[in-house]
């Protein structure tokens, strides 16, 4: 009888020590037991690597909205994989592929591409023959691009918050990204695509190429530094 309290104390201590081996909080994520390079869940990979720039669920981020069905129908698998692996020069998009110094395996990048298609590509947004191509072989004309920009774009982008001709903004976005946005639009921000941008009329491949050439000509070679016209005003 004199040893019962001691036995009870030892038993309680053993139970408490066993409980300390469990993590405090919600049940363990199914990915927790995997090494980082073994994780192939699209949701996990997207949240950890993409959502900060492209937005939660692919929308409303500072970068291109990947959940835009038009964009998903415009860019093919090879293009999506190329940008994820190598990054996009002229933008803040870094290289994620191991072969380019990143930390995602080919299997993980394939999981991201497949997940985007599964979640955000709609059959009814399939690429139409008249849709401008993702890339172009046409030569852009800067003067024509300025004229088309003023007629088709300026009415919306005259506003201070929408001034996409700002040299610093253009220094952070590539010609390919500009082309993708002009064609696919940004529906999450109310920006129409190529087929409704020109007062409800579609832009041609050449017109889109000219607009991108014009905007590219405004890009600052020294973003964040005083621009020549600003330096002249300060003298």
Q: Is residue 66 part of a domain?
A: yes
Q: Is residue 30 part of a domain?
A: no
171 and 112 in a common domain: no
| 125-177: pLDDT as tens digits | 545 658 899 999 899 999 999 999 999 988 888 876 677 888 888 988 999 99
Query: For residue 77, what is the domain's CATH number?
Result: 1.10.760.10
103 and 149 in a common domain: no
Decide: helix, strand or coil at residue 97. strand
pLDDT of residue 168: 83
Domain residues for the domain of 169 are 142-217
Comparing CA positions, the residue from 170, 209, 153, 176 lying closest to residue 74 is: 176
121 and 42 in a common domain: yes
153 and 85 in a common domain: no
The 10 Å Cβ neighbour count of residue 80 is 19
Structurally, the chain folds into a number of domains equal to 2
Comparing CA positions, the residue from 69, 187, 75 lying closest to residue 125 is: 69
Yes or no: say if 181 and 210 are a contact pair by the CB < 8 Å rule.
no
| 76-103: pLDDT as tens digits | 999 999 999 999 988 889 999 999 999 9
**Report field, pTM of the whole predicted structure over 0.85:** no
Buried b vs exposed e over 156-175: b needs ≥16 C-beta within 10 Å? ebeeeeeebbeeeebbbbbb
| 214-224: pLDDT as tens digits | 999 999 877 76
163 and 87 in a common domain: no
Buried b vs exposed e over 56-79: b needs ≥16 C-beta within 10 Å? ebbbebebbbbbbbbbbbbbeeee
Name the token pair of 85: 């692996």
Which of these three, 98, 125, 152, is where a domain ends?
Answer: 125
Q: Is residue 223 part of a domain?
A: no
Q: Is residue 9 part of a domain?
A: no
181 and 118 in a common domain: no
Yes or no: say if 53 and 93 are a contact pair by the CB < 8 Å rule.
yes
Q: Is residue 185 part of a domain?
A: yes
Q: How many residues are present in the chain?
A: 235
Q: How far apart are CA 100 and CA 215, in angstroms?
A: 29
pLDDT band at 58 (very low <50, low <70, confident <90, very high): very high
153 and 87 in a common domain: no
> What is residue 24's DSSP assignment?
S
Q: Is residue 85 part of a domain?
A: yes
**Residue 61 in this model has a pLDDT that exceeds 60:** yes
């Amino acid at each position: 009888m004199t040893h019962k309290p001691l036995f009870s104390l030892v038993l309680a201590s053993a139970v408490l020590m066993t409980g300390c081996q469990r993590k405090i909080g919600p049940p363990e994520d199914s990915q927790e037991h995997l090494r980082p390079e073994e994780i192939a869940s699209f949701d996990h990979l997207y949240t950890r690597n993409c959502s900060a720039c492209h937005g939660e669920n692919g929308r409303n981020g500072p970068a291109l909205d990947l959940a835009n069905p038009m964009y998903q129908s415009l860019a093919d698998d090879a293009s999506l994989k190329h940008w994820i692996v190598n990054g996009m020069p002229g933008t803040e998009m870094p290289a994620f592929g191991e072969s380019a110094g990143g930390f995602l395996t080919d299997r993980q990048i394939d999981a991201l591409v497949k997940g985007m298609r599964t979640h955000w590509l709609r059959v009814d947004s399939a690429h139409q023959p008249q849709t401008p191509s993702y890339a172009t072989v046409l030569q852009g004309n800067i003067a024509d691009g300025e004229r088309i920009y003023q007629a088709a774009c300026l009415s919306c982008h005259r506003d201070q918050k929408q001034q996409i001709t700002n040299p610093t903004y253009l220094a952070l976005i590539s010609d390919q990204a500009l082309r993708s946005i002009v064609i696919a639009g940004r529906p999450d921000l109310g920006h129409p695509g190529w087929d409704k941008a020109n007062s409800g009329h579609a832009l041609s491949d050449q017109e889109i190429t000219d607009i991108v050439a014009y905007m590219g000509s405004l890009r600052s070679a020294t973003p964040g530094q005083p621009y020549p016209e600003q330096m002249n005003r300060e003298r």
